[in-house]
Structure 1
Amino acid sequence: MAAFFKSNEASVSFEVGEYQQFPKPEPEDAAKEKTPKPKLKHFSVVLLSFALLCVLQGVLNIALRLALTEPTAEGETEEEFCPEGWLMFGSSCYYISSQRGRSWDDSRQDCMQRGADLVIINSRQEQAFLTGFTAAAWVGMTDREKEGTWIWVDGTPVDKDGLNWAPGQPDDAFGGEDCGDIRTMTDFIGLNDFNCSARSQWICETM
């Protein structure tokens, strides 16, 4: 609805109409806030990727633990593979006697009663593992059948060049050293021939 007003002094008219409110234009800054910034989008992608990597790492860690604790045989874990008090190296278990005072033959008899035999050393790595537990201990080698021809208790020949012997050994000292032991003494470390009736500690092995 419109109305007209006239002034006496001048012919000026004003038209008053209905007021219509128009929406105010949004400030430029507000429009910018509604539009996601590219930097924020990039940060969100990086954050999501990092979270996925963390989850994946956790899954891999669990899988690795399960793989390492898988039974070595049906119903057995790695800790149960060797009898209590025995040591494991590779696929073998070793018993190192704590007492000293048995001959080579008596030591072998003790091993057999434990379901084992005197140790057969097949490599320098195995020899290194067994070195240092005792100053001297019987092992399963002898040259009783033929002097200078060393064999293990299972009948296989001793690899004299492939193993470490103590300095100057074997020397068959006093004409009667037909059994083997392993020594860890100052300046005397390695395999050694010794009198079979001497009293010593011993090392048993079972697979």
Structure 2
Amino acid sequence: MAVFHSSESDNNFEIGEYQQFPKSEHEDAATERTEKQKLRHLSVILLSFGLLCVLQVILNISLRLALSEPTDKGETEEDSCPQSWLMFGSSCYYISSQRRSWDDSRQDCVQRYADLAIISSKQEQAFLTGLTMAAWVGMTDRAVEGTWIWVDGTPVNKDGLQWANGQPDGAFGGEDCGELRTMINFIGLNDYNCSTRNQWICEKTLWQL
């Protein structure tokens, strides 16, 4: 240690070496806990990121397999619906974006080598329900009022399919054509005036392609 004497005063100044005091055990423990918490959080983040990567890979593989597998037994790449047509079972369905009368709608389907959709089961009806709010399907009672038949001549199974509430009712002086409705509290088959402009659903089977 060096001692300096001032010539103008009796003050003495002592300069010594800086002494660093050791940290207390409490401070060391707190620092160690903070470091462990940081490492624990980092480990959790890295583990979560790794799991997300694995899940993404699994999802991508599942989607590719689903898209590459046939949608029905026996279906091949050749046995698929044309572009913009939907497949259910062995049939392809076209949902129009335009609106026409029942007869004009059917003519459009014929030009597409199809016909207005014939609904044979509740499963098929469930598939078509919701594709549009209202669309013509291939049923009519023009020949005999109250006797509904499909465009292929087979009778409509009124008990096996879902009709909208209170339908068919033959309102407004005659509703001889059938449509499929998807509206709140009004879902199912409905009889409607054939001249009304509606969307429509065409159907053709895979062996018609």
Q: Please confirm whether the aligned pair reaches a TM-score higher than 0.5, indicating the same fold.
A: yes
Q: Deviations over 1:53-98 (max 9, x none)?
A: xxxxxxxxxxx99x9569946xx516x5111100000000000011
Q: Distance in 2 between matches of 1:84 and 1:116?
A: 15
Residue number among 123, 129, 132 corresponding to 1:131 in the alignment:
129
- The unaligned stretches of length 5 or more in structure 1 are 1-63
- Aligned mate of 2:174, from 142, 160, 176: 176
* CA positional deviation for 1:163: 0.1
Q: Does 1:191 align with 2:189?
A: yes
- TM-score of the aligned structures, taking structure 2 as reference length: 0.63
Q: Which amino acid aligns with 1:87?
A: L
Q: 2: distance between equivalents of 1:111 and 1:72?
A: 26
Aligned to 1:87: 86
* CA positional deviation for 1:157: 0.1
Counterpart mapping for 1:138-177 below 5 A: 138-177=136-175
Q: Distance in 2 between matches of 1:148 and 1:172?
A: 8
CA distance in 2, matches of 1:182, 1:126: 12
- Whole-Å Cα distance in 2 between the matches of residues 187 and 144 of structure 1? 27
Query: Match for 1:85: what amino acid?
Result: S
Q: Aligned residue for 1:206?
A: 204
Is 1:97 aligned with 2:96?
yes
1:133-191 Cα shifts (integer Å, max 9, x gaps): 11100000000000000000000000000000000000000121000000001110000
Structure 2 CA distance for aligned equivalents of residues 156 and 99 of structure 1: 28
2 CA distance for matches of 1:133 and 1:77? 25
Structure-1 separation of matches of 2:173 and 2:146: 12
Distance apart, 1:198 and its partner CA: 0.3
Partners of 1:71 and 1:179 in 2: how far apart? 34
Q: Percent identity?
A: 74
Match of residue 120, structure 2, among 119, 122, 125: 122
Q: Could you say what secondary structure the match of 1:106 adopts?
A: helix
C-alpha separation in 2, matches of 1:128 and 1:71: 20
**Structure 2 alignment gaps of length 5 or more:** 1-64
Counterparts of 1:108 and 1:115, CA distance in 2: 11
Q: How many corresponding residue pairs?
A: 139
1:37-116 map, 5 Å: 68=69, 72=74, 76-77=76-77, 81-100=80-99, 102-116=100-114
Maintained 8 Å contact 1:71/1:77: no
Normalization by structure 1: what TM-score?
A: 0.63
Q: Supply the AA of the counterpart residue of 2:174.
A: G
| Separation in structure 1 between the aligned mates of residue 155 and residue 73 of structure 2, nearest angstrom | 34
Aligned mates of 2:73, 2:186 — CA distance in 1: 41
